[in-house]
Amino acid sequence: MTTFRRMTARRTLAISAATLGLSASFAGGLPTTTVELAPMTALDLAERIRDGESSLRVLDLRSTEAFDHGHVPTAEPAYREDALASGTPGAEDRDSNHVDSRPTEPSALAEDATIVVYAGDASEISAAMLPARVKEAHHLFFLRGGWAAWESDVMYPVLPDGASAAERADYARASDLSRYFGGTPRRGGTKLPPPSARPRGC
């Protein structure tokens, strides 16, 4: 009886898998939620911020806690748990205990605004993470490597031992920016792996 039940269960699972698998080919396309975002390196973003580019807006897609712990200078949070603190229009009319964890719309976006969004690391950013008005922006970029890249490339760049001429030139550029933003450039020691070289798990 047990063997019979096992065989019946096995057969049921196989039939279910076959049904779900074969019907997938007729299920049509998957909802497209990605938005075309051009990449921007942390150093390029740092230069634009330092140069005071007026049309630049930087949007942080991480949690409130992560944002408060540290963020790219001039960045605005996409999510705020305390609607009053975000300064969104009408927030002062809300109950002081009101908690709103939905995306807040950034203050008015100029049509020619350059929007740069970033998450915590090199994870892909999808349209679901973006406030509605940001998705319609004409000049939309993502920070390659996210906050992790800002920290490693801008705040704490490292010139490895035996660096090539090209690496020394990159370091010179990075260390200038690092000092501007209060970071600590470092010479020597092991170079940290770039944010894109994620550990490959088992």
Binding site residues, other proteins, CB under 8 A:
14, 17-18, 20-22, 24-31, 33-34, 62-63, 65-66, 79, 101-103, 123-129, 160, 190-191, 193, 196-198, 200-202
| Phi, then psi, of 39 in degrees rounded to 5 | -80, 150
* DSSP codes of every residue in 121-181: SSPPP-GGGS-HHHHT-SEEEEETTHHHHIIIIIIS-EE-TT--HHHHHHHHHHHHHHHHT
The residue (of 31 and 52) whose beta carbon lies closer to other proteins is: 31
Torsion over CA of 125, 36, 102 and 80, rounded to 10 degrees? 70
Q: Judged by CB, which is closer to other proteins: 47, or 121?
A: 121
Rounded least distance, CB 47 to other proteins, Å:
25
User: Least Å distance between CB 188 and other proteins?
Assistant: 13
Nearer to other proteins, 79 or 141 (CB): 79
Amino acid at 194: P
Closest distance of CB 1 from other proteins, Å: 21
